[in-house]
Amino acid sequence: ELLLDLTLKDEAETRRLAEDIAMILHPGDCVLLSGDLGAGKSAFARAVLRTLADDPELEVPSPTFTLVQTYELARFPVSHLDLYRLEDEEELAELALDDLLEEGAALIEWPERAGGLLPANWLGLTIESGADPAARRVRLSAKGSDWPERLARTRL
C-alpha cells in the first residue's frame, strides 16, 4: 500500500525524513530500505540511528560483511542489516530477525535478498535517484501495523 511519494532535494532532506521516522519507531518495527547502490539506504539508516542515539557523530559502519549490527540505544536496541551479501535461507535464519524484533527495531537494506522471509509488519522505503545528483524520490509503503496513523503524526 503506497502511503507517500516524496521528493527530497538533498541529503539534508533525507536526514529530516529519517528523523521523522525515527521518532515514530517502536520495538518490533521493521523498516525495509530498497533502492540501487548509492540510492541512500545507508545514509537514511545512519540518520535514524544517530537520531535515536541522540548522537550526531555515532559511527554507523555498513554491515555488508557481518550482515547485522545491533545498537544498544537508550530506549530500545536497533539492528541495522544489509542483506546484499546474504547467501541462503540458512544464513538468514542465523540472523534470528524474529529475536531482534522482540527486543527492538530493525532497519534492513536489500530486503529483496530475503525472499519472502520477512516479518508481516513493515514500513518500506524505495529510494530512487533522479537527474539531479542530490535529489531523491522516496516512496513509502507499509504492510500491517498502524503506519498511516503514525505517519500522520509527523510533519510529513
42 near Mg ion, rule: CB under 5 A: yes
51 near ligand ADP, rule: CB under 6 A: no
10 near ligand ADP, rule: CB under 6 A: yes
Q: Which does 37 bind (CB under 5 to 8 A by kind): ligand ADP, Mg ion, none?
A: ligand ADP
Q: How far is the CB of 136 from ligand ADP (least distance, A)?
A: 4
Strand 68-72 vs strand 77-82: parallel, antiparallel, or unpaired?
antiparallel
14 near ligand ADP, rule: CB under 6 A: yes
Q: What is the distance between the alpha carbons of residues 3 and 7, in angstroms, rounded to a whole number?
A: 14
35 near ligand ADP, rule: CB under 6 A: yes
Q: Which stretch binds ligand ADP (CB under 6 A): 9-17, 23-31, 53-61, 100-108?
A: 9-17
Phi-psi region of 120 (alpha: psi -120 to 50; beta: other; left: phi over 0): alpha
Going by C-beta distance under 8 Å and a sequence separation of 6 or more, which residues neighbour residue 75?
A: 52
First to last CA, the chain: 17
107 near ligand ADP, rule: CB under 6 A: no
